[in-house]
Structure 1
Amino acid sequence: MSAERRNEDARTFLISVAAELAGMHAQTLRTYDRLGLVSPQRSSGGGRRYSQHDVDLLREVQRLSQDEGVNLAGIKRIIELTNQVEALRSRLGEMADEVERLRTNQRRDVAVVPKSTALVVWQPRAARRRQE
């Protein structure tokens, strides 16, 4: 998560403010929370606290529903798939960083073949001589 996103998510809004920012009624936000479309943080007293990310997600739910005609079950699935894609992109970035680190630190031991399905087994020369 970027530093900018963390700063945005650090600010939280009461349900009435989040509803106004999203252009919805507070009861709609409660319904979306119950359905699992948006999961706001909770205060120690149990009150909902919406981040800027939550408000943006509420706007997207409204857009998909009103402009695109997607039902709530479909919207929930879209949100789930979007979250999976974000997680996979993050993991891919981590793996690319790890590959780059390995390339830099152990240039001889790592060979990356982009877009290949080939499997290459590397053995040290001493091990190959023993097998022959």
Structure 2
Amino acid sequence: MTSPLLPALPPRMDIEMVAVASGTHPELIERFVELGLVPARRDAGGRLWFDRGAPELVRRIVRLHADLSLNYAAVALVIDLLDRIDVLENRRWVIQFGKGTPPWT
């Protein structure tokens, strides 16, 4: 059942959908793909396809670059470190409370 207020996201998104959802220009997203910041797959026609989490990742990259004045190599490092922190916090939660998933995920 889907809510009339929340649109259902497709299992994969093209570059235009990611651009609209993240509020960025498609050329910037292409650059992020070229730099290896945003994972994407190309189909036989050369069209880029993204996972559902791509708009959030693009927004995070833009925020880190603009707000902290980080270059894109540093942005990649920060995103990797933030992902590792999330994994470690989830493990700590499971060890400490013996539950499968923490309430913030």
Structure 2 counterpart of 1:127: none
Superposed displacement of residue 9, structure 1: 7.4
Structure 2 counterpart of 1:74: 74
Contact 1:9–1:53 (Cα < 8 Å) also in 2 = no
Stretches of structure 2 that go unaligned for 5 or more consecutive residues are 1-7, 100-105
- Structure 1 or 2: more helix by fraction: 1
Stretches of structure 1 that go unaligned for 5 or more consecutive residues are 1-7, 99-132
Contact 2:43–2:49 (Cα < 8 Å) also in 1 = no
Contact 1:13–1:50 (Cα < 8 Å) also in 2 = yes
SS of the aligned residue for 2:24 comes to: coil
TM-score normalized by the length of structure 2? 0.66
Shift in CA distance, 94/48, structure 1 to aligned 2, threshold 3 Å: farther
Superposed displacement of residue 23, structure 1: 2.2
Structure 2 counterpart of 1:27: 27
- How far apart in 1 are the matches of 2:43 and 2:56? 24
Shift in CA distance, 85/10, structure 1 to aligned 2, threshold 3 Å: farther
Aligned residue pairs, count: 90
Select the structure of larger CA radius of gyration. 1
Structure 2 counterpart of 1:128: none
Superposed displacement of residue 22, structure 1: 1.6
Q: Percent identity?
A: 23
RMSD value over aligned CA atoms? 2.6
The AA in structure 1 aligned to 2:48 is R
The AA in structure 2 aligned to 1:33 is V
- How far apart in 2 are the matches of 1:44 and 1:32? 18
- How far apart in 1 are the matches of 2:42 and 2:69? 34
TM-score normalized by the length of structure 1? 0.55
